[in-house]
């Protein structure tokens, strides 16, 4: 049993409704508590039409799929006003497929993609006018060694009235590239969709492909993948805490979390040759092997992290300066988090216990993960959550290694993929759920590949979190969400 | 608070790598070597397995400017001709020097530049710009300034503004949407200035060569675009291969270039 949430079915078994009943059904299910996971378009045989597929989560690990066929020029009456969590999906549908939406409040492109490259010009930054009003433009190039993106702050004095985030500078065209090569050889590309989330994206891709090829993997391989994924989470949480400490001027935290990250990524490198977990997973198995000497080294690294983390955590979290800078800053309520459809740690820091690992399939059923949550939704909550998740992941890796202390490198050959199938794979990366939707054609080739990084959904969370805050606190807010630009831009 | 801080200090110990020029990362999939043993007749397995077209046959050659170190070629080769070593030293002055050839014993030594050494040997300020980078290269470039690698010990530092920079460090395959910003950053830099291309994406386009969102300028046989090939125009003085490059790959290349011992 695979350890990511999977849902696969032949396309002819996918219920296809007319737009109006499809829309009513969707509204009804969300009303009853279902959570939108994704909503995406697939080109239909006639160029004038687009399949729209909605994926809802109706319980832990339980996905509900529904599909409709809409005419691009007609579309359907927008749902964003009633279900704000769909805003990014409807904007994307409009941008990628030209679907028209009646009454949609804001169809600003997500990433400068699609047929109409000038579309972004139709959505200049909002303007705010009045006395003591000013605007601050940042980007696309920022003042650090980071990815590009454009921010426009509309301020009243030092206070942010509104932040508009304008992305797309990292748009490479991942989804188009994924359809060009052999579907079974895409791992190196998938590992760079968001390069700091290589393992989570690779796992979603591998699990989807393995389901299409009807391959079941032994639990030992799932354990190895889990270790790679948790090491990625540990490394990135350490990187985030180091960044947060640097941004509040707490340099001892920056240097100490930074060097502990080195220990974590060097452990990944020992296992798979890359500090970012690249090459750890391949469809059909893992090139990863774990022998006695390597196991000893990994356990020594875990011991070091277990010993040194509490010392710096205690120093960092008890420092008055740190508390003062993080508490109450960039706060979102649980209601807003749910309305926006935030995922992963951004949601958990607002008290939403959303973690796909807790659905408990495969290795996460054998070595369970209890989702950590924090109630306050501010920068402090996001920092404390990462501290708690570090501890949980370290314990998980220990537990997995105790159960599976040796791995053989193994790689089953993938034969033909099931034709005319749809598979949805959801893996819990360190930022949140990574969603891959793959559709095969009648010959078993890839017909459509929809990639969704958690960042797509969480950027709006950042935009709303900084409202009413001092503009000088933006770097802290930004770092506390720690979102991916290329994961959004694809 | 003081005692907590002292406890952290005691746990931290000494973290910096004493000799960055000799350090070799344990387990790293770095510089490949190609054995001189013959290939199987008509075999094209390694070239077929390569996701970036980095491999040429007869004689076998591997272009580090395209290689993403996925080791699919190693898996595919029936004759065990290709092996990746942990050696991080792979930087080169030209794209030609990035090609690893069959039976070649050692990589060509990176020649120092007397001119760059004179100008920047004691102080070098770098501005990094990502144009489609996946955050792999960006994180490793950040790491060169952490407590382990501490490149600042040589007076080499990241700066926030291109106006303060001597070198532009480019990552990513050069997206269409970053084309103008990259050019603006370059034009904002005062002379003397130079470019370093970091990672397979920046050097050749890597996995994204020919991707719809990437615009590296005109390609042979294509209609010329409004903007000429930026990399041809600025002619990087240094190419740092990897996906992403290890911090030591970047550091050793710079130290070699500036003849810092």
Tens of pLDDT, residue by residue over A14-63, are 989 999 999 999 999 999 999 999 999 999 988 899 999 999 999 988 99
Residues of B in contact with A185 (CB under 8 A): 49, 51, 72
Distance (Å, rounded) from C-alpha B106 to C-alpha A78?
Answer: 62
The pLDDT value given to residue A129: 86
Question: Measured between alpha carbons, how far is B77 from B45 in angstroms, rounded to an integer?
Answer: 6
Give contacts of B49 with chain A, Cβ < 8 Å: 185
Is A172 in contact with B132 (Cβ distance < 8 A)? yes
For position A115, what pLDDT does the model report?
66
* pLDDT score at B219: 53
Using an 8 Å CB-CB cutoff, list chain B residues near A168.
177
B172 touches chain A (CB under 8 A): yes
Cβ-defined contact of B214 to A148 (cutoff 8 Å)? no
Q: What is the pTM of this model?
A: 0.95
Calculate mean pLDDT across residues B52-78: 94
Contacts of the segment A184-189: beta carbons below 8 A, 24+ positions apart: A184/A209, A184/A283, A184/A414, A184/A417, A185/B49, A185/B51, A185/B72, A187/A281, A187/A282, A187/A283, A187/B70, A188/A278, A188/B51, A188/B52, A188/B68, A188/B70, A188/B72, A188/B207, A188/B243, A189/B51, A189/B207
Last residue within a domain, chosen from A78, A100, A125: A125
B134 closest CA partner among A220, A126, A257, A146? A146
What does the alpha-carbon distance between residue B147 and residue B125 come to, in Å, rounded to a whole number?
A: 18
Domain locations along chain B: 32-88, 114-217+228-257
Do the interacting molecules here have an ipTM over 0.90? yes
What is the CATH number for A255?
1.10.645.10
Residue B2: CB atoms within 10 Å: 6
**Closest-CA residue in chain B for A194?**
B134
Cα–Cα distance measured from residue B94 to residue B57, given in angstroms and rounded to the nearest whole number: 21
Decide if A245 contacts A253 (C-beta within 8 A): yes
N- to C-terminal Cα separation, chain B: 40
Per-residue pLDDT of B128-181, as tens digits, reads 999 999 999 999 999 999 999 999 999 999 999 999 999 999 999 999 889 889
Of B8, B75, B172, the CB nearest to A315: B8
Collect all residues of chain A within an 8 Å Cβ-Cβ radius of residue B4. 311, 314-315, 318
Q: Which fold has domain B32-88?
A: Alpha-Beta Plaits (3.30.70)
Asked if residue A159 belongs to a domain, the reply is no
> Cβ contact (<8 Å) for B181 and A140?
yes
Instruction: From chain A, pick out residues whose CB is under 8 angstroms from the CB of B128.
Output: 145
The C-alpha angle with vertex A181 and arms to A178 and A182, in degrees rounded to 5, equals: 110
Whether A424 and A291 map to the same domain: the answer is yes
**pLDDT score, position A3:** 83
Q: Which helix (H) or strand (E) holds A101?
A: strand A101-102
Q: Which residues of B touch A143 (CB under 8 A)?
A: 160-161
Residue A160: inside a domain: no
Question: What is the distance in angstroms between the CA of the first residue and the CA of the last residue of chain A?
Answer: 30
Three-state DSSP class for residue B158: strand
Residues of A in contact with B84 (CB under 8 A): 273
Which chain B residues are within 8 Å of A275, Cβ to Cβ? 28, 140, 246
Peptide bond into A140 cis (omega under 30): yes
Which residue is it, tokens 């090491």? Answer: A231
Distances from the Cα of A430 to the Cα of A482, B141, B180, angstroms: 10, 21, 33
Contact B161 A258 (CB under 8 A): no
Q: In the structure, what pLDDT confidence band is assigned to residue A1 with cuts at 50, 70 and 90?
A: low
The count of CB pairs under 8 A between chains A and B is 188
CB–CB of B26 and A308 under 8 A? Answer: no
Residues 6+ apart with CB under 8 A from A387: A237, A241, A313, A317
Residue B82's Cβ-count burial label (10 Å; 0-12, 13-18, 19+) is buried
Does the distance separating the beta carbons of B26 and A177 come in below 8 Å? no
Statement: residue B227 has pLDDT above 60:
no
**A70-100 pLDDT tens trace:** 999 999 999 999 999 999 999 999 999 999 9
Closest by CA position to A157, among listed A192, A130, A121, A125: A130
CB A99 within 8 A of CB A72: yes
Q: Shortest CB distance from B181 goes to which of A141, A262, A311? A: A141
The domain in which residue A213 lies consists of 197-457
Alpha-carbon distance of A168 to A374, in angstroms, equals 31
Q: Residue A269 and residue B28: Cβ atoms within 8 Å?
A: yes
Instruction: Using CB atoms, pick whichever of B9, B49, B138 lies closest to residue A146.
Output: B138
Among B138, B146, B244, whose Cβ lies nearest the Cβ of A147? B138
Indicate which CATH number applies to the domain containing A20: 3.30.460.80
Q: What's the CA gap between A468 and A160, in Å, rounded?
A: 5
Min Cα distance A216 → chain B (Å) is 22
Q: What is the pLDDT of residues A273-317, one digit of tens each?
A: 999 999 999 999 998 889 999 999 999 999 999 999 999 999 999
Q: Which member of B49, B52, B134 has the closest CB to residue A486?
A: B134
Asked if B147 has any chain A CB less than 8 Å from its own CB, the reply is: yes
Q: Do B84 and A273 touch (CB under 8 A)?
A: yes
Taking only the tens place, the pLDDT of each residue in A371-381 is 899 999 999 99
Spatial distance between the Cα atoms of A26 and A120, rounded to a whole number of angstroms? 29
Is B84 touching A (CB cutoff 8 A)? Answer: yes
Of the segments A250-259, B16-25, B103-112, which one has the largest average pLDDT value? A250-259
- CB-based contact A332:A459 (threshold 8 Å): no
Residue A130 has a pLDDT of 86
Q: Is B197 on the interface with A (CB under 8 A)?
A: no
Name chain B contacts of A172, Cβ cutoff 8 Å.
132, 173, 175, 208, 211, 213-214
List the single residue in A194, A319, A411 with the smallest CB-CB distance to B1.
Answer: A319
pLDDT at residue B224, as a whole number: 47
Q: Using pLDDT thresholds of 50, 70 and 90, give the confidence band for residue B226.
A: very low
Angle value at C-alpha A260, between A258 and A261, nearest 5 degrees? 65
Mean pLDDT over each residue of chain A, to the nearest integer = 94
For residue B220, is pLDDT > 90? no
pLDDT of residue A397: 97
Kindly state the helix (H) or strand (E) to which residue A423 belongs, with its residue range. strand A421-428
pLDDT band for position A411 (cuts 50, 70, 90): confident
Interface test with A, best of B213, B214, B248 (most A CBs within 10 A): B213
* CB contact B164 to A (< 8 Å): no
Residues A244 and A387 in one domain: yes
Q: What percent of chain A has pLDDT over 90?
A: 86
* A153 contacts A473 by C-beta, under 8 angstroms: no
User: A281, A202 in Cβ contact below 8 A?
Assistant: yes
Q: What are the backbone angles phi and psi of residue B256, rounded to the nearest 5°?
A: -65, -45
Give B211's contacts in chain A (Cβ within 8 Å). Answer: 172-174, 176-177
* Helices A379-403 and A219-247, packing angle to 10 deg: 150
Chain A residues in contact with B138 (beta carbon < 8 A)? 145-147
Give the class (CATH, top level) of B114-217+228-257. alpha beta
Chain B residues touching residue A181 (CB < 8 angstroms): 51
Alpha-carbon span A302 to A122, nearest angstrom: 52
- pLDDT reported for residue B216: 83
When comparing pLDDT for B218 and A5, which is higher? A5
Cα A372 to chain centroid distance, Å, stands at: 17
Residues in chain B: 261
Q: Tell me if A262 and B185 make a contact (CB, 8 A cut-off).
A: no
pLDDT at A245: 97
A358: in domain: yes
**Within 13 A of A358's CA, how many CA atoms are on the CB side?**
15
**Model pLDDT for residues A335-382, shown as the tens digit of each residue:** 999 999 999 999 999 999 999 999 877 999 999 988 899 999 999 999
- How high does pLDDT run on average in chain B? 91
CA dihedral B21, B27, B31, B36 (to 10 degrees): 130
A109, A151, A172: which to substitute to probe chain B, counting the most B Cβ within 10 Å?
A172
Q: Give the whole-angstrom CA distance, residue B74 versus residue B248.
A: 23
- Looking at the structure of chain A, the number of domains it has is 2
Count of positions (residues) in chain A: 490
Q: Point out the domain boundary residue: A125, A158, A180.
A: A125
Dihedral sign from CA coordinates of A262, A267, A270, A273: negative
Strand partners, A57: A35, A63
Six-digit token string for A47:
């160029």
pLDDT band for position B104 (cuts 50, 70, 90):
confident
- Closest CB from B8, B71, B140 relative to A252: B8
- Residue A188, in any domain of the structure: no
> Do A241 and A382 belong together in one domain?
yes
Q: Residue B6 pLDDT more than 50?
A: yes
Tokens of A413: 């050959």
């Amino acid at each position: 049993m695979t350890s990511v949430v999977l849902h696969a079915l032949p396309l002819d078994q996918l219920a296809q409704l007319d737009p109006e009943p499809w829309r009513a059904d969707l509204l009804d299910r969300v009303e009853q508590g279902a959570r939108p996971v994704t909503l995406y378009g697939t080109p239909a045989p006639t160029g004038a039409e687009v399949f729209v597929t909605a994926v809802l989560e109706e319980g832990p690990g339980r996905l509900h799929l529904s599909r409709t066929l809409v005419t691009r020029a007609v579309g359907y009456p927008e749902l964003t006003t009633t279900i704000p969590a769909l805003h990014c999906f409807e904007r994307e549908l409009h941008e990628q497929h030209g679907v028209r939406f009646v009454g949609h409040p804001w169809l600003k492109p997500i990433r400068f993609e699609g047929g109409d490259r000038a579309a972004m010009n139709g959505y200049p930054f909002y303007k705010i006018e009045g006395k003591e009003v000013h605007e601050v433009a940042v980007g696309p190039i920022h003042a650090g060694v980071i990815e590009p993106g454009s921010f426009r702050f509309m301020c009243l004095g030092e206070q942010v009235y509104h932040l508009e985030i304008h992305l797309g500078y990292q748009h490479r065209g991942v989804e188009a590239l994924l359809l060009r090569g052999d579907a079974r050889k895409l791992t190196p590309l998938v590992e760079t969709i968001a390069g700091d989330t290589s393992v989570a994206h690779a796992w979603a891709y591998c699990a989807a492909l393995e389901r299409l090829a009807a391959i079941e993997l032994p639990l030992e391989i799932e354990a190895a993948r889990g270790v790679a994924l948790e090491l990625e989470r540990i490394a990135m949480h350490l990187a985030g805490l180091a960044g947060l400490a640097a941004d509040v001027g707490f340099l001892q935290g920056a240097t100490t979390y930074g060097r502990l990250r080195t220990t974590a990524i060097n452990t990944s490198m020992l296992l798979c040759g890359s500090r970012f977990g690249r090459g750890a997973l391949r469809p059909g198995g893992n090139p990863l092997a774990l022998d006695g000497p390597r196991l000893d080294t990994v356990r020594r690294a875990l011991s070091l992290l277990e010993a040194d983390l509490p010392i710096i955590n205690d120093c960092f979290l008890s420092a008055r300066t740190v508390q003062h800078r993080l508490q109450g800053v960039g706060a979102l309520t649980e209601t807003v988090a749910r309305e926006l459809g935030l995922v992963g740690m951004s949601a958990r820091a607002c008290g939403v216990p959303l973690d796909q690992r807790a659905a408990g399939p495969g290795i996460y059923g054998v070595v369970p993960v209890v989702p950590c949550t924090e109630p306050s939704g501010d920068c402090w909550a996001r920092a404390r959550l990462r501290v708690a998740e570090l501890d949980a992941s370290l314990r998980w890796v220990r537990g997995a290694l105790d159960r599976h202390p040796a791995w053989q490198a193994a790689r089953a050959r993938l034969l033909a993929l099931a034709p005319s199938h749809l598979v949805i794979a959801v893996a819990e990366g360190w930022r949140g759920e990574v969603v891959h939707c793959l559709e095969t054609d009648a010959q078993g080739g890839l017909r459509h590949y929809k990639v969704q990084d958690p960042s797509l959904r969480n950027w709006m969370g950042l935009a709303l979190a900084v409202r009413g805050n001092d503009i000088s606190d933006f770097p802290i807010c930004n770092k506390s969400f720690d979102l991916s630009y290329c994961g959004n831009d694809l | 608070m003081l005692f907590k801080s002292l406890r952290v200090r005691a746990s931290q110990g000494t973290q910096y790598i004493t000799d960055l020029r000799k350090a070799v990362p344990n387990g790293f999939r770095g510089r490949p070597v190609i054995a001189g043993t013959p290939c199987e007749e008509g075999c094209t397995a390694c070239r077929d397995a390569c996701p970036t077209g980095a491999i040429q046959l007869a004689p076998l050659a591997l272009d580090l400017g395209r290689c993403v170190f996925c080791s699919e070629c190693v898996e595919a080769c029936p004759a065990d001709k290709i092996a990746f070593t942990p050696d991080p030293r792979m930087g080169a002055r030209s794209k030609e020097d990035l090609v690893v050839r069959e039976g070649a014993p050692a990589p060509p030594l990176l020649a120092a530049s007397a001119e760059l050494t004179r100008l920047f040997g004691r102080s070098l300020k770098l501005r990094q710009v990502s144009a489609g980078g996946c955050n792999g290269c960006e994180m490793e470039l950040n790491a060169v300034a952490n407590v382990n690698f501490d490149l600042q010990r040589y007076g080499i530092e990241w700066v926030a503004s291109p106006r303060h920079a001597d070198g532009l460090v480019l990552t990513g395959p050069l997206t269409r949407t970053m084309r103008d910003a990259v050019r603006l950053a370059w034009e904002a830099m005062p002379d003397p200035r130079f470019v370093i291309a970091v990672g397979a994406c920046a050097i050749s386009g890597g996995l994204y060569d020919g991707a719809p969102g990437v615009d590296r300028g005109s390609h042979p046989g294509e209609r010329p675009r409004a903007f000429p090939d930026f990399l041809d125009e600025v002619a990087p003085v240094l190419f740092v291969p990897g996906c992403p490059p290890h911090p030591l790959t970047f550091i050793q290349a710079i130290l070699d270039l500036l003849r810092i011992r």
